[in-house]
Amino acid sequence: MPLKISYSVNFKSAKFPSKKQLVGKYSILKPLNFKNHAGELFKNFSLDKTNTLWTYMPYGPFKNLPSFKSYLKKNCLNKEPFFYAIYSKRLKSFCGVASYLRIKPAIGTIEVGWITYAPNLQRTVEATEAMYLMMKNVFENLGYRRYEWKCDNLNQKSKKSAQRLGFKFEGVFRQATIYKKRNRDSAWFSIIDKEWKQCKNKFQRYLKRSNFDNNLREYKKL
């Protein structure tokens, strides 16, 4: 019996993320700028008085603005990971960050990660739209085949968020890494290019202004 091989792929290359901002109805994603964004981000992140925001992150919590700035300088201003600061038009403030990482244009794979939402951004339309804008950019502007999401397998909120946004669960990589002197089993999720159209339609229906009241509370869930 002959060996089975997969189908041929006529794929040239995707693009690396650019410095262009991503603009939506409710939010704007701007490439992270240390001078312009650090103060507002730290102020909004500090709304989390229990520090649970940083439980599953390799870094944090941060006791003061200088320590937060030091973290940004060291980890968030490089070409990869490529970080955005998330601006809420409603709040008129930068209140979250997210990045592209594991960027492989030659084979068309890219990951979203380091997603950190201040309490005032969590469970809002801006939070959802930010993920939509990054996903749309990946498939429609940058030309990737595969968009990945990974998290600590114990992070139930992250896993639920991935599935809510349309990512499909692929499995758990056991003892994938160590952070904060703890083991991490990593849950893997992905969306591929042929699934994007259906996913996009769901986002567009959800993000219609008519789906929200005057306080931007949703009528129908994603």
pLDDT tier, 1 (very low <50, low <70, confident <90, very high otherwise): confident
Confidence of residue 160 (pLDDT cuts 50, 70, 90): very high
Residue 215 — left, alpha, or beta (φ > 0 → left; ψ -120 to 50 → alpha)? Answer: alpha
Neighbours of 100 (CB within 10 A): 23
Instruction: Check: CB of residue 82 under 8 Å from CB of residue 31.
Output: yes
Give the chain's domains with CATH numbers: 22-211 (3.40.630.30)
pLDDT band at 78 (very low <50, low <70, confident <90, very high): confident
* Residues 123, 130: Cα–Cα separation, whole Å: 12
Decide if pLDDT at 34 tops 90.
no
168-172 contact pairs (CB < 8 A, 24+): 168/195
Query: Bridge partners of 110?
Result: 147
pLDDT given at position 63: 93
pLDDT(205) > 90: yes
Helix axes 125-136, 196-206, angle to 10 degrees: 150
Stated pTM of the model: 0.96
The band of 67, judged by pLDDT with boundaries at 50, 70 and 90, is very high
Distances (CA, A) of 127 to 80, 86, 117: 22, 8, 8
Residue 216's identity, in one-letter code, is: L
Q: Residues 181-190: pLDDT tens digits?
A: 999 999 999 9
